[in-house]
């Protein structure tokens, strides 16, 4: 996703399990703050009847960690084993928060940033090393549209969003001096890092949750879970199809009412969206996203959204951030450079909302569409934008979940929040 205001500590958790039939205990309510979309998962057997003798048990847990709500759904051989797997997966995410958070001054990432400038290489742990290696690869392959050293600019842009005024030129120049390829030097033979510039601050918000989701899935697999979905409030990662289904069916709602709703049935992929639906600011009549362009120090001009489908959550997360910065003109080329990735770009031109999908987008050929921008509506109408497909679970409000039987198909339903007004 984007360089979100995330990776912060959370405390709320809930775990429930059923053998086939959805019960009230499975309907976990909570605020799903995403960069653009909210995700709901529901699984039932055909006709919502009794499960066969060899049916797996659906186990679902929700916890607030890294500053957002995470929901993990898994199919296990029995409830106890499934709950143990979820507990271990959530523990792994919490551990990585202590490594990657830029809000926690005690995190490994924050302590490394605080040491800048460093006169000698600083040894770091394996996870932070892997993230920095991946981040450097993203920076090079996207021409700087993704940059983990964006921290000074992110902090400056947060102040701008609060004040409603652009940063002063001199402050922008000072922050940009600590950002870029020369701000981090990796020393592979020592698994160490040098930060040569004073003021360098690392921000893993554009890749950290994806990385944590991948590690959490590894934990689930180690516990014998073959079919699972991890929803990190907008970063969605799925493994093998739920029992008796062709895959996880995902509906990605349009930027505005009346636009085409994208439907896909997928397995073993990640789906991540980056955009300005939840966090944006209007300065001098221009809508800016919270997503910062490392090359300019300003937020991306919107309204806009990019959804990326990739082979893993780390790639989808980082690429969605970069593609959001690059936009629909330069972004598709960047997406094409990452094997197994595709994307949908949505943006506004005048009164029209335009959408472009790159080759390989699930269930649809490469296309560009235009939709006349209808008046924005709240979450209750937003649920009606999703086309019927059997009994698709609909959500009346972005802060609540609801589900019904759906012919043994696993659903992740995404929809705009009531606060979103993409077409004012």
Sheet holding 299-301, edge to edge: 280-283, 286-292, 299-301
What whole-number distance in Å separates Cα of residue 341 and Cα of residue 319? 9
Q: Three-state DSSP class for 190? A: helix
- For residue 410, name the pLDDT band (cuts at 50, 70, 90): very low
Helix locations, 203-312, DSSP H: 208-222
pLDDT of the residue at 19: 32
Task: Look up the pTM and report it.
Answer: 0.76
Q: What percent of the chain has pLDDT over 70?
A: 70
pLDDT at 13 over 50: no
Q: Residue 391's pLDDT is what?
A: 25
For residue 103, the number of C-alpha atoms closer than 13 Å in the C-beta half-sphere is 14
What are 94-116's pLDDT values in tens digits? Answer: 999 999 999 999 999 999 999 99
DSSP type of residue 189: G
Report the pLDDT value the prediction gives residue 219, as an integer from 0 to 100. 98
pLDDT at 158: 87
Q: What percent of the chain has pLDDT over 90?
A: 48
Q: Of 179-183, 224-228, 323-327, 382-386, give the lowest mean pLDDT range.
A: 382-386
For residue 259, what pLDDT is reported?
61
pLDDT at 278: 60
Distance separating alpha carbons of residues 369 and 353, to the nearest angstrom: 8
Token pair of 315 as six digits:
């790639």
Residue 412 confidence (pLDDT): 37
Which DSSP helix (H) or strand (E) runs through 237? strand 235-238
Place of tokens 């992740």: 412
Q: Return the pLDDT at 148.
A: 94
User: Tell me, what's the pLDDT at 54?
Assistant: 53
pLDDT band for position 283 (cuts 50, 70, 90): confident
Q: Is 186 within 8 Å of 136 (Cβ atoms)?
A: yes
Task: Answer whether residue 387 shows pLDDT above 70.
Answer: no
Torsion of CA 179, 182, 183, 186, to 10 degrees: 140
**Mean pLDDT, the chain, whole residue set:** 74
Task: Check if the beta carbon of residue 219 is closer than 8 Å to that of residue 89.
Answer: yes
Question: How many CB atoms are closer than 10 A to CB 153?
Answer: 28
Q: How many other C-beta atoms lie within 10 A of the C-beta of residue 10?
A: 16
pLDDT at residue 6, as a whole number: 45
Q: What is the mean pLDDT of residues 49-78?
A: 83
Residue 154 has pLDDT above 90, yes or no: no
Neighbours of 99 (CB within 10 A): 22
- What are 339-386's pLDDT values in tens digits? 999 999 988 888 788 888 999 988 653 444 443 322 222 222 222 222
**pLDDT for the residue numbered 303:** 81
Cβ distance 194 to 118 under 8 Å? yes
374 or 318, greater pLDDT = 318
Report the distance separating Cα 100 and Cα 108, nearest Å: 7
Task: Look at residue 56 in the predicted model and tell me its pLDDT.
Answer: 84
Per-residue pLDDT reduced to its tens digit, 285-315: 888 888 888 998 888 887 888 999 999 999 9
Query: Domain 13-101+207-415: what homologous superfamily?
Result: ApbE-like domains (3.10.520.10)
The sign of the torsion formed by the CA atoms of 312, 313, 314, 319 equals positive
**Furthest C-alpha separation in the chain:** 69
Q: What is the mean pLDDT of residues 139-151?
A: 93
- Any idea which of 43-47, 112-116, 272-276 has the lowest mean pLDDT? 43-47
| pLDDT tops 70 at residue 395 | no
Q: Are 357 and 347 spatial neighbours (Cβ–Cβ below 8 Å)? A: no
Average pLDDT over residues 176-194: 92
Contacts of 200 (CB under 8 A, 6+ apart): 113, 116, 117, 149, 151, 152, 178, 179, 183, 184
Which has the minimum average pLDDT: 48-52, 176-180, 191-195, 323-327? 48-52
pLDDT digits (tens, 9 = 90+) for 201-235: 999 988 999 999 999 999 999 999 999 999 888 78
Calculate the alpha carbon distances from 39 to 27, 42, 181, 288, 414 in Å.
13, 10, 35, 24, 5
State the Cα–Cα distance between residues 93 and 7, nearest whole angstrom.
10
The residues spanned by each domain of the chain are: 13-101+207-415
Overall average pLDDT of the 135-161 stretch: 91
**Most confident by average pLDDT, 122-126, 171-175, 369-373, 376-380:** 122-126
Handedness of CA 273, 277, 278, 282 (dihedral sign): positive
């Amino acid at each position: 996703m984007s360089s979100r205001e995330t990776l912060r500590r959370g405390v709320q958790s809930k775990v429930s399990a059923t053998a086939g039939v959805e019960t009230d205990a499975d309907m976990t309510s909570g605020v799903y703050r995403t960069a653009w979309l909210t995700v709901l998962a529901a699984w039932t057997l055909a006709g919502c009847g009794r499960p066969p003798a060899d049916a797996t048990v659906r186990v679902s847990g929700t916890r607030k960690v890294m500053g957002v709500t995470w929901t993990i759904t898994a199919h296990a051989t029995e409830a106890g084993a499934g709950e143990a797997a979820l507990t271990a997966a959530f523990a792994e995410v919490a551990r990585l928060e202590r490594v990657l958070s830029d809000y926690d001054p005690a995190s490994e990432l924050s302590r490394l940033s605080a040491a800048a400038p460093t006169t000698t290489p600083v040894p770091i742990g394996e996870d932070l090393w892997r993230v920095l290696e991946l981040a450097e690869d993203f920076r090079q392959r996207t021409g700087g549209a993704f940059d983990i050293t964006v921290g000074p600019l992110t902090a400056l842009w947060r102040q701008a969003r609060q004040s409603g005024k652009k940063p002063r030129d001199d402050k922008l120049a000072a922050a940009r001096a600590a950002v870029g390829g020369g701000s981090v030097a990796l020393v592979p033979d020592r698994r160490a890092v040098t930060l040569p510039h004073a003021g360098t601050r690392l921000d893993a918000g554009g890749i950290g949750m994806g990385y944590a989701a991948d590690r959490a899935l590894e934990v689930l697999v180690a516990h014998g879970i073959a079919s699972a979905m991890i929803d990190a409030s907008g970063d969605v990662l799925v493994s093998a199809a739920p029992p008796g289904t062709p895959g996880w069916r995902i509906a990605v709602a349009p930027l505005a009412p009346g636009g085409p709703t994208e439907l896909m049935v997928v397995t073993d992929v990640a789906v991540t969206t980056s955009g300005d639906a939840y966090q944006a600011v209007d300065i001098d009549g221009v809508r800016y996203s919270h997503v910062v362009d490392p090359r300019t120090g300003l937020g991306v001009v919107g309204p806009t959204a990019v959804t990326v489908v990739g082979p893993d959550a780390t790639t989808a997360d980082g690429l969605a951030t970069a593609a959001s910065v690059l936009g629909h003109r330069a972004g598709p080329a960047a997406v094409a450079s990452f094997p197994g990735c595709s994307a949908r770009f949505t943006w506004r031109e005048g009164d029209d909302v335009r959408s472009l999908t790159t080759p390989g987008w699930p269930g649809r050929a490469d296309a560009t569409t235009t939709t006349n921008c209808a008046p924005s509506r709240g979450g209750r109408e937003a649920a009606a934008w999703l086309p019927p497909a059997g009994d698709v679970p609909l959500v009346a409000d972005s802060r609540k979940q609801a589900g019904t039987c759906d012919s043994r198909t696993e659903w992740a339903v995404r929809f705009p929040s009531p606060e979103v007004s993409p077409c004012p």
